[in-house]
């Protein structure tokens, strides 16, 4: 989970330093994939550890919101 969580902002930052929107979008796609990976890992955790559902469900919702923001940002770059 840590690697996926760290990958999200890292790919956004790396993509922001690229020379074109096309390359930036590619890194935003990678960040979005990491969001999906993290959300899946949270769901698996919830299946394995039935305690702490409220906190983990809130985290999964937040990751979903971040992913939605990434999709909106990508759409704005595509124009």
Other beta carbons within 10 Å of 42: 20
Answer whether 28's CB lies under 8 Å from 36's CB: no
Q: Which CATH class is domain 2-78?
A: mainly alpha
Please tell me whether the overall predicted TM-score, pTM, comes out greater than 0.85 for this model: yes
Average pLDDT over residues 32-57: 89
Domain coordinates of the chain in residue numbers? 2-78
| 51 has pLDDT over 80 | no
pLDDT for residue 4 is more than 90: yes
* For the chain, percent of residues with pLDDT exceeding 90: 75
Question: Where residue 53 falls among pLDDT bands split at 50, 70, 90?
Answer: confident
56: Cβ–Cβ under 8 A, 6 or more apart, which residues?
42, 45, 46
The CA–CA distances, whole Å, from 50 to 1, 12, 21, 38, 58 equal 17, 33, 42, 18, 14
């Amino acid at each position: 989970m840590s690697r996926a969580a760290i990958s999200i902002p890292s790919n956004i930052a790396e993509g922001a330093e690229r020379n074109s929107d096309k390359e930036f979008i590619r890194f935003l796609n990678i960040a979005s994939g990491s969001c999906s990976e993290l959300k899946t890992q949270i769901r698996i955790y919830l299946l394995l550890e039935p305690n702490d559902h409220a906190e983990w469900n809130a985290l999964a919702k937040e990751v979903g919101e971040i992913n939605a923001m990434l999709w909106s940002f990508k759409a704005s770059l595509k124009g």
